[in-house]
Amino acid sequence: MERPALNVLIVEDDVVDRMACRRTFASSQDAAFTLLEADSGQHGLAVAQQGQLDCILLDYGLPDMSGLEFLSQLPQSGPPVMMLTGADSAMVAAEAMRRGARDYMVKDGEGRYLTQLPAAILRMLREQRLLDGKRRAEAELRKLAAHQESIREDERKRIAQEIHDELGGLLTGIKAYIGVAIERAGGKADPLLSEAAGLAQDAIATVRRVITDLRPSVLDQLGLWAALEWHAEQVAQRSGLRCSCRIEPDAAELELDAGRSTMLFRVVQEGLTNVVRHAHASAVLIDAWRDAAGLRITVADDGIGITEERLRNGASWGIIGMQERVRHFGGELQIVPGEAGGTTLRLQLPLDGLEGTA
């Protein structure tokens, strides 16, 4: 079987260690290694920027920077890094892994680590390929979920329009005919006609509520902020909650596209639905403002709060769905205990490329 060809950069200021690695790779039967060498951190970063590297072997103690500083300056899209540490550097190795190194090896004084190095690099690269494949699959799943959500929104809008045009028009016509019949009968109209007129009016109100639940027209006509204020009023009327909406001027001036507007509305809508169903709250506040990180929206209630167990079990699928919606636009959503009790939904959305962000 043909050996894989691998380009490895070693960033090491000790010429003896570089020579030992060169000999190890030259004699390896596991792969055809091509070793590039750098004797300082800046030199290593310059070589890494040229691309065509499969991995980097990084010594912790460099003359111009530490290995941790090297990792902080290496782009996230760079090749996987294996840190080479001293025998008593377990904490350094752990910190290196936290900062992005994929693996580490301890350099013993006798050089026994060299015999394990080729196999360790191949193992690290296999793990990296698996990780890259997983990330690609997750990205594709998120794109698919976002596409399906867009299709669902379009379908809700279409169904709402059809109900409005067909069923709404039919019920309005029925009510009109009943009204004409009552007028013609004068004072001798059958009481059943009046009752039928009332039922028709109730049916029209139900149709309007269903249409609104499917796709609030205020979202398309007046935008996100007016839709949130309107929805807060609707929740207050239906549930008896004191539901307030506070939109700061710096957020209200943002020009959000249809995709982000729909996402934010649906997340807040889902958050309020959870409050009504589970929180046993008396009040809930929707807050929206801007800061250096982007747009911030919170939904905070004064209810019984949410436990870590409930966040972990199946009841959190709705929360996971909201998080995925937000993540599709580069944002982040958290559900946390409120500072004064209850539960707070926290949403942060970056504003890169949006109008009104200057």
Residue 99 sits at φ, ψ, to 5 deg, of -90, 0
**How high does pLDDT run on average in the chain?**
87
Residue 358 has pLDDT above 80, yes or no: no
Is residue 82's pLDDT more than 90? yes
- The pLDDT score that the predictor gives to residue 312 is 62
Radius of gyration in angstroms for the set of CA atoms belonging to the chain, rounded to a whole number: 31
User: For the domain 5-111, what is the CATH code?
Assistant: 3.40.50.2300
Predicted pLDDT of residue 313? 62
In the predicted model, is pLDDT for residue 87 greater than 60? Answer: no
Q: What is the DSSP string of 275-321?
A: IIIII--SEEEEEEEEETTEEEEEEEE-SS---HHHHHSGGGHHHHH
pTM: 0.63
pLDDT for the residue 23:
92
| % of residues, the chain, pLDDT over 90 | 42
Q: Are 102 and 57 contacting, i.e. CB atoms less than 8 angstroms apart?
A: no
Fold of 218-358: Heat Shock Protein 90 (3.30.565)
Angle 10-16-17 (CA atoms, 0-180°, nearest 5)?
40
Residues 135-154 have a mean pLDDT of 82
**Where do the domains of the chain lie?**
5-111, 218-358
pLDDT in tens, 167-225: 888 999 998 988 888 888 876 767 888 888 889 889 988 888 888 778 788 888 889 99
Distance CA 324, CA 338 (A): 22
The string of pLDDT tens digits covering residues 92-107 is: 878 888 888 999 888 8
